[in-house]
Every structure is written in structure tokens, then in C-alpha cells.
Amino acid sequence: MTVSVASTSAVVPSAATEPTAPVTAATPADRDGLSVWPRSARPADDADVLVGGVSLAEAADRFGTPVYVLDESEVRERCRAYRTAFPEADVVYAAKAFLCRAMVRWVQEEGLGLDVCSAGELELAVATGFPPEKIVMHGNAKSPEDLETAVRLGVGRIVVDSTSEIGRLAAIVPMGSRRRVMVRVVPGIAAGGHTKVRTGTEDQKFGLSITDGSAQHAITRVLDQPRLELVGLHCHIGSQITAVKPYVAAVRRMIGLLARVRDHHGLELPQLNIGGGHGIAYRPGEDTLNVSVLAGRVRAELEDGCARAKLNVPRLTLEPGRAVVGPAGVVVYRVLSVKQTGSHTFVAVDGGMSDNPRPALYGVRYSPRLIGRHSVAPPALVTVVGRHCEAGDVLADEVPLPGDVRPGDLLAVPAAGAYHLSMASGYNLVGRPPVVAAANGVARTLVRRESLDDMNRRDIGL
């Protein structure tokens, strides 16, 4: 099949009343080994795979490797799925998962807001035409530039993450105006796929604790600032969460705090942000968060809890990132060497931790696939490693690949859209790969490959 490739520039508390129905959804039945790939993925001639109608092998030849291919339709469909599941809520895409100008445009066109954590993310979004009033700014340690940019551009909400931030923010708001803020609260919920991404407990850097009273103190401080308008509370309990129960528990605790704010200050806050962290499947058979179940359970808990507390139901905000873009991305590497060392076979590719640090950070495992040629060799367990000078530069440990994998082969890795290039580095001065959008059989460059010349321009001293 011929395609066009065109270039353009805590522990969750138990509750006897909780439903016992499943709260996660298993990965869909495998379709030719492509269950964790974009839904448009189809096997093609010569063991190739089409994504968005684009041949991955042809894209690798045209754009070089490594290359990240992003299925535009998958991103858009996932945005729509959230809007359908949460029609009454503000759904804001978490830019930290992956951001570029095209991503900003897709998110805007599908009716989502945007969640940013830096002046850089904010400036890119607004320069692309995204309305600042639909942007949420947060981060645990906002720089003066972050806060000044957020105030200057008029972002919709700023999430306060520390008491010291309150005075600094109020000082830069122009006299006679107010900025809407939320307070990030630590609800004491332990959830997440790895200890390093659990953000709802007391022992990490994010938010203000309910338990020690710092959240309540921050709320009082904000209310004392005439240039700040407290509009709600925010919490984010972790990342790569595949169970609904932790979110329900977090909502319950946040309602308790909303009631205490009402009782102590005589103020009903109109908004509640429960963050994101929705888990996806990286390998066949893994669970993913069921967004429809999440919506039903959170809505029920919010309505019932507010009724018991005699509160008006606040407007909900949630911040999916990985669950929007992660399954839409595929990265294609070229094999550079195959080496037998003791009982291990190492397959080295032309990328690695500079474009995907997640395995080194979190021990994440992927399911690479040989594409571009048929092999009848029986599978063998191999370790796919990167090209960098680190023993921890491992992309996939002990995974089955055809026993005759050799230099020059192409390996495609699905579920690569989130927290790969957004966390990429310049280690060993290996340029970051390009990002290519695939849609209707046409591929176009969204972000070009970083060249040695790009990196040299930053080095101005002798």
C-alpha cells in the first residue's frame, strides 16, 4: 500500500457503601498484537504497520530515525471521549505530557482547556492562539517569570501551591484588579503507578496538607488578599492510576474541606479540580482507567456528598494528559547492533534515554515490535537498550522479538505519546527526534529533528 509522506514545517479509606462493580477496564482484545497501539493501527504488507493510514517503515525512511508518529485522529477522539464523559465539567489538557503548536490547536478545536506549569508552556499556547482565560497555571515552585507571565496574559486560574506564593502573586496583580486562584490541597490519598508519581500524600513536594492545617492556613491567607479571588480547591493524587476508588476518596475528602471553608468563612467555593493521572496500558493485558466509570462514580460522590454537607455542587475540573496523547504516539527506532553478553542478548537502537527517560526513572516496560520485514525465526527474549553511556539506558527489558533481529531493522514502540519528548534531554549531544502527525494517509512534520547546529548555537563561549 502506498501512502503520501509530505513534510511541513495514603491508603485509600474503605467504605462499606462503595459499589463492588469493577472500576478498571482491561485493554481491548488484542487485534494482531496491536491492542495498545492507536486505534487506527493496521498490519500491512512486509510486516509493516499503518498508523493513521501512514506506513511506519516509510515514515522512518522519509524522516529518519528515531521518529515519533502521532495519530491526530486518536488525540481528537480521546479529547471528545472526555467531553462526552464529563459534559458538565471543565476538561483541561495537561500540557506537561506533550506540547507543541499542533497539539495546542487540536485541544482547542476539540473544546478542552489547557493546564500549564511554566511561562514557556503558557507563552507557546497563547502565541498559538489559545485563549488564556481557558488556561490553568500551576506548579509547586513557580518562578517570578511564571507568575508575572500568568498575570500579564490573564490566565483563567492560578493554583497556589505554597503559602509563600500567595504574597508574591498578590504583589504583582495590578491595583484595581483581581486574579482567580485555587489552593492545591494534599488529601492524604496514596495512588499512582510508581512511588515517584504519587502526589496525594504528605511525604512529597506538592500541595498543602489538610492534616497539619497548612491548607486551611493558605485558604485564610488568600481570602485576606483583596487582589486575589479564591474560586476553589485543587488536588492531584498521582499518575498512571487505573482505579477509580482513589478519586472517589479524594472527592469525599475535598467535600469535607469545602464544608469547613463554608462553616469557617461563610463562603461556598464554586469550583473543584481533581487533577488527572489517568492510567493507560503500555503492554497488552494491562489495565487502563475507565473514563466513563470514573465520570459516573465521581459525579455520584460529588452530588451525594454535597447533599449531605448541604453544599451547592461545585463545577468540576479535571486534567488528563497521558490518557489523551499517550496511546496516540508510536516511536520508531533503527537497530544499530545486536550483542550477546553472557546469557543476555542486547539489541541497541539509535535512541534511548535522551528521548525516553521513563524506563530509567520509573522502570517502565514497553512492547517493541519488529516492522518492515517478515521474520519466521522463533521469538527470543532480548533487552532493547539505547545508545547512551548509561547502564540504565534500557528501553525494554527481556521482551520477545524474532531471534534473527539484526542491525538495520526497525523497531516500533507504542504508547509513546506522553512523557517521552516532553522529558527529553540533550545527553551525549544526541538531538531530539522529530514529531510527525499521521492523518488520512498523510504524514507531516510537527516538530523537526534537533540538529547539531541547533545545539552548537547555544554554546557561545570559548
Task: State the binding site.
Answer: 277, 319-322, 358, 362, 390, 419
Other CB atoms closer than 10 Å to residue 441's CB: what's the count?
15
Residue length of the chain: 462
Task: State the binding site for pyridoxal 5'-phosphate.
Answer: 277, 319-322, 419
Contact criterion met (CB below 8 Å) for 449 and 64 = yes
**Beta strands at 379-385 and 394-402: parallel, antiparallel or unpaired:** antiparallel
| H-run or E-run covering 385 | strand 379-385
Task: State the binding site for substrate.
Answer: 322, 358, 362, 390, 419
Place of cell 563561549: 461
> Which phi and psi (to 5°) does residue 67 adopt?
-140, 135
| H-run or E-run covering 220 | helix 214-223
**Any bridge partners for residue 50, and if so which?**
42, 55
Contact criterion met (CB below 8 Å) for 365 and 454 = no
Q: What DSSP string runs through 135-175?
A: EEE--SS--HHHHHHHHHHT-SEEEE-SHHHHHHHHHHSPT
Question: 79 catalytic, yes or no?
Answer: no
Among 100, 117, 306, 389, the active-site one is 389
Of 268, 423, 332, the closest CA to residue 41 belongs to 332
Contact criterion met (CB below 8 Å) for 99 and 89 = no
- Those residues whose C-beta lies under 8 Å from the C-beta of residue 14, and which sit 6 or more positions away, are none
Of 357, 329, 327, 326, the closest CA to residue 435 belongs to 329
Task: Report, as residue numbers or ranges, the catalytic residues.
Answer: 389
